[in-house]
Amino acid sequence: MSSEDHHDVSRFQVGTRLIHGRRAPKEQFGFINTPIYRGSSIIHPDLETFETADLPYIYGRKGTPTMAAFEGLMAELDGAAGAISTPSGLCAVTTAILSCVSTGDHILVNDNVYRCTREFCDTILKRMGVETKYYDPTIGAEIQSLMRPETRLVYTETPGSHTMEMQDIPAIADIAHKNGSIVLTDNSWGTPLFFDALGKGADLCIHAATKYIAGHSDTLIGAVSANERLWGQLKSTREALGICASPDDLFLALRGFRTMRVRMDYLSRAGLEMAQWFSGRPEISQVLYPALPASPGYHLWKRDFTGASSLFSVILQPTFTAQAIKEMLNGLELFSLGLSWGGFASLVTPFNPVNHRTVVKWCTLGQALRFYIGLEDLSDLKNDLEKGFERLHAAPT
């Protein structure tokens, strides 16, 4: 991007940076969006240029204008030295971890971690000779008791994507850094708009950009941002593994950035209103949403976050049968049963973390449901759920 076209937008507020960051219409024949660049071969004008690799782009896997625009904006929003894109959120997790560990290392991972991250640690990392120790996500500075000379990294995810425990990232990062360890944070829930992961002490910030960044449930993409200390080895790991996101998905995620502030502003208000509504329902024993004062971890959310997204969980009263819950969920019209979140449509996912935790037992008796609040009118969503609760009560006991 030319210096003439790529003006500095860092002085503007985040909403303006999302709109104007990393756009180069003068270099794209006036088109306001950076186009999709598909291709592998990039033609060099002469042998001297070929031998010196003196071009902005030399091979499709190594970079295109679409990739550069997405990664550049991602890094700017995270306040990072640089960022990489990956073909999925899980690939962002695994690439970030692989950029840090070697055989013989010991790592600490939060017990409420995304299930696929746990599977990676328990299979691939174990085969590599990397030992994973899971820890209570609410441990804070007490993580010092788990640190060992060979502890290479501490993995965090705040809040947990199902059970919603908040982590004290600054306290954990302080202890980890004093012991020479690296801190990784999955920031898919908070996004750069609501949580400054690197500013709070993380060295690598991971995003399932499939979700709130892309925003339309039609894209698979991930991203990892790094501070100055880790940027070189993150970038070289991506290069060595041959990882590159689809140009089409990069374009869609870049487009998602442009409307992200508007979507997140609405979703933050919608999530809080719906969580409060659930809190008043007799069918609900507990709402797990960090932005509610009664929710565990509220003080950490209030201290470290500037907003809350629209993903949260509820626990039904334990008196309802499996058949009643089935009839409630199967009859929902606007809440679809589906994985992922962050798109325009509302979702609900039943879950039971008992088999995916090894440190802190899940002792809740009622059925757990994770709700993602989308962009629908909230009165319609409430009406859909009220009919569902009617079916819940009407089912035979």
Q: Which of 152, 200, 211, 263 is catalytic?
A: 211
Question: What are the beta bridge partners of residue 132?
Answer: 107
Instruction: Supply φ then ψ for residue 87, to 5 degrees.
Output: -70, -10
- State the angle between helix axes of 378-394 and 322-330 in degrees (0 to 180), rounded to the nearest 10: 150
The catalytic position among 78, 105, 168, 186 is 186
Residue 156: strand pairing partners = 185
Determine the Cα–Cα distance for residues 304 and 186; give it in Å rounded to an integer. 15
C-alpha 14/C-alpha 42 separation (Å) is 34
Query: Which residues does 261 contact at the CB level (< 8 Å), separation at least 6?
Result: 14, 15, 18, 193
Among the listed residues 22, 78, 114, 212, the single catalytic one is 114
Strand pairing category for 311-316 and 368-372: antiparallel
Q: Is 54 in the active site?
A: no
Beta-strand runs (E) in the chain: 82-86, 106-110, 131-135, 151-157, 182-186, 204-207, 222-226, 284-288, 311-316, 336-337, 347-351, 368-372
Separation of alpha carbons 251 and 38, rounded Å: 11
Active-site annotation holds for 61: yes
The three-state secondary structure class of 270 is helix
Measure CA 22 to chain center.
22
Contacts of 379 (CB under 8 A, 6+ apart): none
The three-class DSSP label of residue 228 is helix
| Gap between the Cα atoms of 11 and 69, Å rounded | 19
Per-residue CA distances from 369 to 52, 314, 323, 325 (Å): 56, 5, 15, 10
250, 83 in Cβ contact below 8 A?
no
Catalytic residues: 61, 114, 186, 211
